[in-house]
């Protein structure tokens, strides 16, 4: 069993120990209540100061149990001072003796001792895991080490969930699936499958006082701890008063309000109801259960995520899907998706076949690369998606085209509102098109009717990267089918053989389905397949980005010019590069698609 697996086992064992401790405290509360009921009411005599002493002694017992002895000196001293006045009250004596010497209390103390030992083992295993990872390879810094350590723990969660070993191995080799690797990040990859679950894992680790070495992950641990405390607080803890929080080792700090306890104790004894002591024990037990339940739920959420990966994987691999399997697939994606535009489309088009046809295409690519590429040669791929395109409203965030971290970037080549010709499309597919190759004008087969210059006023010396655009707004890009010209180009084409680029995985996909769809649907389908079968892709869109009508985006021209560049209506982008057409058949198809 690996160190990460042992660490996870100890965490679950700690939770079980706390749950057992809670059961013992509840049992002890019942015993105290039963003992009080058996005592003769006439035995309850003496000064009320003696009651104060009993409360303090009882408080010392509970606090010592739940804080490993730290509270005993303070409360015990107070109890000793007051109890000198009238400790002879028999009922108080019996209750106190039972609290101290009963088998239930001894069992609870033993459980508490075991729990504390488990906490120490968790901390040692976490340090051991760090040392193992540090010895296994070189790291760029503390955050890089933290990233690999947390990924190892996620791998243990995946194994516990029954995830396929091949997926786990690839996940461990690629921690950036879940956690960022760049400077200025907060440790968490916001394009992970479920960023909040990663925060939850950090919160669990911080609960056991495990610490990160890098600044980014220190921030993540602090954020996770705050979230976990909020989750625990929702349950309404009764024994954590006046802002008290979880202490070292994950133990709850318990505070007593003596004046309130004394008055309630008197009232409860006089009315022959449960004592304040037994109620305090029961409250403490309930809080231990709440904390244990919250920790278990957080861990179970991560386990559930990996189980749902299995559902997604099965649905991706099986093209003969039932309607229920499709619904389950979409519902899982919707639960984890963060983008509102994508969520809206999935809700409105849950029964469409186009999405699953795209999934099938990208899974076919995965199989094709598995057969033709070595493991070391298939991590990064370039997807060239060729389609007729247009831009429409409303504006959306560029990050919508990057739903998961498995898509490195989406590259757009023409300015907004510009069309492209076959030379540009061929250059994109070949990978030879450079920004300085661009030329602008009207199409050769159509006389220019516009008496303005076609070149845009702003033309950056780089392509339009959606990764760099981030949260910036862009038009909604729609893609639609290319006309059927040559059956040879109806399918996916693997381009390495055509262009002879060693070590490069380039795949060309012509969009041939009859439905016009948002381009983010394409990248969503791709990112899901890549996530389940860990690859990383850069997507290149070879499509026109002209307005669908004169009214569309009429008020956004200046903004689009600032975002990247924007042209006037009727502008075509071509290439001045004298390309060698290694595949005349492909170029002929592109001419039919773009130059009509």
pLDDT per position as a tens digit, 306-322? 888 888 889 999 999 99
Percent of the residues in the chain that have a pLDDT greater than 70, as a whole number: 67
Closest by CA to 15, choosing from 307, 294, 306, is: 294
Residues (pLDDT < 70) of the chain are 36-37, 39-100, 165-166, 169-177, 179-193, 235-277, 350-351, 372-379, 443-453, 484-504, 534, 578-585, 587, 591, 595-596
The answer, yes or no, to whether the previous bond of 527 is cis (omega within 30 of 0) is no
Report whether 413 contacts 463 (CB < 8 A). Answer: yes
Same domain, 391 and 450: yes
* Domain that residue 257 falls in: 3-301
User: For the chain, how many structural domains are there in total?
Assistant: 2
Q: Are residues 53 and 198 in the same domain?
A: yes
pLDDT in the model for residue 144: 86
Would 278 be classed as within a structural domain?
A: yes
pTM as predicted:
0.74
Rg (CA), the chain: 33
Residue 321, in any domain of the structure: no
Flag whether 484 is in a domain: yes
* Claim to verify: residue 113 and residue 187 sit in the same structural domain: yes
Domain shared by 346 and 297, yes or no: no
* Residues 56 and 108 reside in one and the same domain: yes
Which helix H or strand E contains 509, and what residues bound it? strand 506-510
Pairing of strands 473-480, 419-420: unpaired
Q: Tokens for 167? A: 């997926």
Rounded Cα gap, residues 461 and 418, in angstroms: 16
Same domain, 8 and 83: yes
The last residue of a domain, from among 283, 301, 319: 301
Q: Do 441 and 344 sit in the same domain of this protein? A: yes
Q: Is 505 in contact with 377 (CB distance < 8 Å)?
A: yes
- pLDDT of 239 reads 57
What is the pLDDT at residue 59?
35
Residues pairing with 464 in the sheet: 412
pLDDT per residue over 384-437, tens digit each?
999 999 999 999 999 999 988 889 999 999 999 999 988 898 889 888 899 999
How is residue 452 annotated by DSSP?
S
Does residue 316 sit within a domain? no
Please report whether residue 319 resides in a domain: no
- For residue 447, the model assigns a pLDDT of 59
Whole-angstrom distance, CA of residue 204 vs CA of residue 7: 12
User: Residue 307 domain-assigned?
Assistant: no
341 in the same domain as 284: no
């Amino acid at each position: 069993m690996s160190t990460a697996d042992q660490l996870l086992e100890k965490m679950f064992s700690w939770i079980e120990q706390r749950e057992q401790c809670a059961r013992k405290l509840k049992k002890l509360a019942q015993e105290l209540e039963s003992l009080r009921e058996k005592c003769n009411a006439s035995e309850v005599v003496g000064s009320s100061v003696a009651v104060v002493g009993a409360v303090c002694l009882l408080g010392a017992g509970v606090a010592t149990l739940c804080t490993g002895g730290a509270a005993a000196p303070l409360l015990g001293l107070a109890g000793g001072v007051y109890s000198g006045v009238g400790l002879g009250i028999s009922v108080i004596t019996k209750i106190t003796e039972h609290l101290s010497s009963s088998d239930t209390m001894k069992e609870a103390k033993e459980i508490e001792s075991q729990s504390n030992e488990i906490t120490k083992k968790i901390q040692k295993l976490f340090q051991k895991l760090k040392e193992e990872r540090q010895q296994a390879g070189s790291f760029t810094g503390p955050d890089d080490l933290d990233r690999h350590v947390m990924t190892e723990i996620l791998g243990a969660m995946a194994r516990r969930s029954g995830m396929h070993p091949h997926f786990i191995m690839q996940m461990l080799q690629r921690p950036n699936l879940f956690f960022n690797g760049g400077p200025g990040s907060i440790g968490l990859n916001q394009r992970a499958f479920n960023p909040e679950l990663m925060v939850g894992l950090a919160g669990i680790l911080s609960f056991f006082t495990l610490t990160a070495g890098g600044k980014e992950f220190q921030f993540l641990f602090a954020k996770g701890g705050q979230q976990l405390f909020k989750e625990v607080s929702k349950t309404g803890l009764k024994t954590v008063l006046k802002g008290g929080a979880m202490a070292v080792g994950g133990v709850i700090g318990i505070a007593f309000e003596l004046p309130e306890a004394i008055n309630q104790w008197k009232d409860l004894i006089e009315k022959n109801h449960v004592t304040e002591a037994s109620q305090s024990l029961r409250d403490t037990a309930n809080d231990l259960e709440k904390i244990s339940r919250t920790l278990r739920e957080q861990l179970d959420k991560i386990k559930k995520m990996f189980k749902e990966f299995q559902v997604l994987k099965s649905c991706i691999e099986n093209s003969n899907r039932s309607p229920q399997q499709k619904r389950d697939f979409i519902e899982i994606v919707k639960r984890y998706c963060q983008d509102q535009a994508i969520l809206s489309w999935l809700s409105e088009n849950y029964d469409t076949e186009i999405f699953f046809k795209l999934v099938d295409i990208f899974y076919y690519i995965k199989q094709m690369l598995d057969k033709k590429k070595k493991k070391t040669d298939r991590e990064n791929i370039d997807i060239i998606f060729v389609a007729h395109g247009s831009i429409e409203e409303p504006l959306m965030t560029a990050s919508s085209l990057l739903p998961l971290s498995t898509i490195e970037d989406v590259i757009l080549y023409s300015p907004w509102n510009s069309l492209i010709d076959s030379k540009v499309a061929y250059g994109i597919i070949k990978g030879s098109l450079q920004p300085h190759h661009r030329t602008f004008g009207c199409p050769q087969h159509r006389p220019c009717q516009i008496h303005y210059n076609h070149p845009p006023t702003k033309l950056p010396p780089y392509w339009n990267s959606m990764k760099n655009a981030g949260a910036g707004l862009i038009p909604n890009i729609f893609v639609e089918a290319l006309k059927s010209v040559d059956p040879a180009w109806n399918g996916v084409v693997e381009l390495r053989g055509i262009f002879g680029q060693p070590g490069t995985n380039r795949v060309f996909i012509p969009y041939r389905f009859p439905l016009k769809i948002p381009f983010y649907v394409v990248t969503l389908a791709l990112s899901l397949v890549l996530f389940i079968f860990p690859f990383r892709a850069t997507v290149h869109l070879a499509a026109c980005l002209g307005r669908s009508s004169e009214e569309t985006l009429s008020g956004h021209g200046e903004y689009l010019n600032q975002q990247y560049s924007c042209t006037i209506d009727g502008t075509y982008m071509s290439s001045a590069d004298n390309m060698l057409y290694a595949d005349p058949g492909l170029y002929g198809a592109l001419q039919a698609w773009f130059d009509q």
